[in-house]
C-alpha cells in the first residue's frame, strides 16, 4: 500500500499553556528535542509533549475488552480529529474506535484504563472526503467527531489547518515525521513509543525516475526521504504526522502512512497532498 498524507499548516512555539476548551492558539509545542537529530530507522523516541496534536486511533474489541493501535491522527480542536480515510476501509463500526490524546507511550492490546494527563474519547461519527478513492488513495482524508469534546492541557494541543490559498511546499524543505508504528521489518507489533524522524522533500522529477516511481507520482503528490536511503519512514513505521520546517518555525504538517518497505534508496515514501 502506498503511503498517504494530509497537509496542514503549523506555527510552533516551544511552550503551550493549558486551554480547557482546546480552541486557543494552535500548533504550540510543549517541548522540543534539544538534540535536533530526528531519526526513526535507527531510532529516536519523541519527548513527551513534543507533538501534542498526535492522536492514537485504537480499535476496541469487546470480546476481550482490549484496545489496539491502528492509525494516527491530528487533533484540530476539541471536537475534531483529522486522519486518513483508508483507516476505515474495513468498515469497523464507529463504536469500535477509541481516540487517545497526549500519549508518548501506548500499550498495544491493553485492557487498562487511560490515566491523566492522557485522555480517551469515543468517535461520534466519521466523515470521509466525498471524492476519496480507495484504489488510488486520492483524497485520503477523514474527519472524526470527538465525543465528549476533549480539553487541551498538559501534552494535548491542536495542530493548525492550512491557509486555503496555501500551495504545495517546495522541494528541498526539511520535513519531520512522528508516530507509532513498526520500526523494523517483520516486527510483531508497532512501537509503543512515539517516534520521530527528519526527512527531506524530493524533487518530483527525481521521484518519477525509472529507478523509483517511474512516472506514477502526479502533481498532487509529494515525495520525502533521502536518495541514499536509510533515514526515512520505511520499515513499516505507520501512522505519522509529518511537518515541514522552515527557519525556526514549522510551516506545515501532514498525516502520513508509509509503505511496508525497508529504508532503501529506491523506496522513497510517496504522500498525497490534500487540496
Query: Are the C-beta atoms of residues 158 and 150 closer than 8 Å to each other?
Result: no
Higher pLDDT, 93 or 33: 93
Mean pLDDT of 166-184: 70
Q: State yes or no: pLDDT of 87 exceeds 80.
A: yes
Question: Distance of CA 73 to CAs 26, 57, 123, 171, 180, Å?
Answer: 15, 7, 12, 25, 11
35: cell is 538534540
Mean pLDDT of 155-176: 74
Which pLDDT belongs to residue 46? Answer: 83
**In this structure, is residue 40 part of a structural domain?**
no
**In this structure, is residue 175 part of a structural domain?**
no
**In this structure, is residue 25 part of a structural domain?**
yes
**What CATH number does residue 143 fall under?**
2.40.10.10
Which pLDDT belongs to residue 265? Answer: 32
Mean pLDDT of 20-47: 62
- Structural domain boundaries, residue 29: 12-34+51-147
Which pLDDT belongs to residue 79? Answer: 94
Which pLDDT belongs to residue 222? Answer: 67
> Of 109, 264, 256, which is closest to residue 189 (Cα–Cα)?
109
Instruction: Give the pLDDT band of residue 81 (cuts 50, 70, 90).
Output: very high
**In this structure, is residue 143 part of a structural domain?**
yes
pLDDT tens, residue by residue, 191-246: 788 888 777 777 878 888 888 778 777 666 667 776 665 444 433 333 344 454 43
Instruction: Give the pLDDT band of residue 178 (cuts 50, 70, 90).
Output: confident
Angle, CA of 84, 272 and 2, to the nearest 5°: 75
Cell numbers 502520513: residue: 256
Please state, for a pLDDT cut of 70, what percent of the chain lies above it. 60
Beta bridge partners of 125: 145
Higher pLDDT, 61 or 187: 61
Which pLDDT belongs to residue 15? Answer: 37
Q: How many domains does the chain have?
A: 1
**In this structure, is residue 247 part of a structural domain?**
no
Highest mean pLDDT among 20-24, 75-79, 172-176: 75-79
- What span, in angstroms and rounded, lies between the C-alpha atoms of 57 and 59? 7
> Of 222, 234, 230, 235, which is closest to residue 265 (Cα–Cα)?
230
Which pLDDT belongs to residue 217? Answer: 72
Phi (first) and psi of residue 14, to 5 degrees: -80, -35
* pTM for this model (two decimals): 0.74
How high does pLDDT run on average in the chain?
Answer: 70
**In this structure, is residue 132 part of a structural domain?**
yes
**In this structure, is residue 234 part of a structural domain?**
no
**In this structure, is residue 209 part of a structural domain?**
no
Higher pLDDT, 177 or 257: 177
pLDDT tens, residue by residue, 54-65: 999 999 998 899
Determine how many CB atoms are found less than 10 A away from the CB of residue 88. Answer: 21
Instruction: Give the pLDDT band of residue 102 (cuts 50, 70, 90).
Output: very high
Amino acid at each position: 500500500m502506498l503511503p498517504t498524507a494530509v497537509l496542514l499548516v503549523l506555527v510552533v512555539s516551544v511552550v503551550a499553556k493549558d486551554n480547557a476548551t482546546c480552541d486557543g492558539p494552535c500548533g504550540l509545542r510543549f517541548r522540543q528535542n534539544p538534540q535536533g537529530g530526528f531519526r526513526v530507522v535507527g531510532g529516536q523516541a519523541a519527548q513527551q509533549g513534543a507533538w501534542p496534536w498526535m492522536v492514537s486511533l485504537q480499535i476496541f474489541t469487546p470480546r476481550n475488552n482490549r484496545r489496539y493501535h491502528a492509525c494516527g491522527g491530528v487533533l484540530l480542536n476539541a471536537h475534531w480529529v483529522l486522519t486518513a480515510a483508508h483507516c476505515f476501509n474495513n468498515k469497523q463500526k464507529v463504536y469500535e474506535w477509541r481516540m487517545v490524546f497526549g500519549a508518548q507511550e501506548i500499550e498495544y492490546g491493553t485492557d487498562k484504563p487511560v490515566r491523566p494527563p492522557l485522555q480517551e474519547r469515543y468517535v461520534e461519527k466519521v466523515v470521509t472526503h466525498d471524492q476519496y478513492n480507495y484504489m488510488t488513495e486520492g483524497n485520503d482524508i477523514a474527519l472524526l467527531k470527538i465525543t465528549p469534546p476533549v480539553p487541551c492541557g498538559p501534552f494535548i494541543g491542536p495542530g493548525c489547518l492550512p491557509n486555503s490559498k496555501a500551495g504545495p511546499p517546495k522541494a528541498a524543505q526539511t520535513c519531520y515525521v512522528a508516530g507509532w508504528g513498526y520500526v523494523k521489518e517483520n516486527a510483531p507489533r508497532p512501537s509503543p513509543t512515539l517516534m520521530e524522524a527528519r526527512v527531506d522533500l524530493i524533487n518530483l522529477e527525481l521521484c518519477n525516475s525509472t529507478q523509483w516511481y517511474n512516472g506514477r507520482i502526479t502533481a498532487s503528490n509529494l515525495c520525502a526521504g533521502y536518495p541514499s536511503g536509510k533515514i526515512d519512514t520505511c520499515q513499516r513505521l505507520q501512522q505519522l504526522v509529518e511537518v515541514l520546517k522552515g527557519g525556526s518555525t514549522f510551516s506545515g504538517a501532514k498525516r502520513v502512512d508509509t509503505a511496508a518497505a525497508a529504508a532503501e534508496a529506491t523506496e522513497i515514501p510517496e504522500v498525497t497532498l490534500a487540496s
